[in-house]
Amino acid sequence: MTRKIAFYFVLLLGFVIVGFPVLAQNHSGHAGHEKEAPAVVAQEKMPANSTGLPEKLVDVQYKVCPILGDETKQEIAVIFEGKVYHFCCASCQEAFKKDPKSVIPKIKDFKEVPLIITNRDGQCPVTSEVASGDLFLVRGYKITFYCCGACVGKDKLETDKPAADAKKPEEKKNK
C-alpha cells in the first residue's frame, strides 16, 4: 500500500515539476503565442537601455529592393547597425541577413529618416507584455516593437504625421 502511495506521489510531483513553467506564463491578454515565423525580424539584438530596445534607429527608405528589384514593403524589414532596411519578400530579407555588407551598396536613391520609438517603456502596445527587439513595424516616422508575431500591427497608431521631435529627412545618395 505504501508503495502505491509513493508511486502516485512521485507521479504527481513529476506533473508539478513539468507543468509549472507552462502554468507560470501569463498570456491571458490574447491568443496567438504559437510559434510562427514573423514577417519582421531584426538582424541583431541591440539592447541599449533597460528595456532591451534600441535607443536610436534610422529608417533607410527606398522603393526598389536591392536584391530582386521589386517594390519594397514596410513590413518586411531588418535592423542592422542601427538602421532599418526594407525588402520585397522574406527570401530577400534572409539573403540580406546572410551578407548585409554586400547588399547595402546596391541600395539606390534612398533617404535616411530618424525614427521615433513609440513604446520606449519596453511594453507591447497590444498586451503590455515585454516587447522584443526582434518584432517591430515601421509606420511613417515611427517604429513600434511587439511581444509576438500575433500582435504586430494590431495597435492603432497615427502614421500620417511626423512626430514633433522627428527631424526632416536628409537625402543621401548611395554611390
Q: Which residue has the higher pLDDT, 159 or 86?
A: 86
In a domain, 123, yes or no: yes
CA distance 9 to 32: 35
In a domain, 89, yes or no: yes
Quick one: cell of 81? 547597425
Residues spanned by the domain of 71: 57-172
Confidence of residue 8 (pLDDT cuts 50, 70, 90): low
- Residues 17-63 pLDDT 10s: 555 444 444 444 455 544 343 444 444 444 445 567 888 999 999 99
pLDDT beyond 50 at 145: yes
Give the pLDDT score at 47: 44
Give the pLDDT score at 150: 93
In a domain, 85, yes or no: yes
Give the pLDDT score at 114: 96
Helix (H/G/I), strand (E/B), else coil: 71: strand
Say how many domains are in the chain.
Answer: 1
Nearest-CA neighbor of 143 among 21, 53, 63, 35?
A: 53
In a domain, 95, yes or no: yes
Q: Which residues contact 79 (CB under 8 A, 6 or more apart)?
A: 42, 43, 44, 46, 54, 57, 85, 133, 136
Give the pLDDT score at 53: 82
In a domain, 158, yes or no: yes
Quick one: cell of 97? 541577413
In a domain, 52, yes or no: no
Give the pLDDT score at 43: 44
pTM, to two decimals: 0.63
- Residues 90-142 pLDDT 10s: 999 999 999 999 999 999 999 999 999 999 899 999 999 999 988 999 998 99
In a domain, 40, yes or no: no
In a domain, 135, yes or no: yes
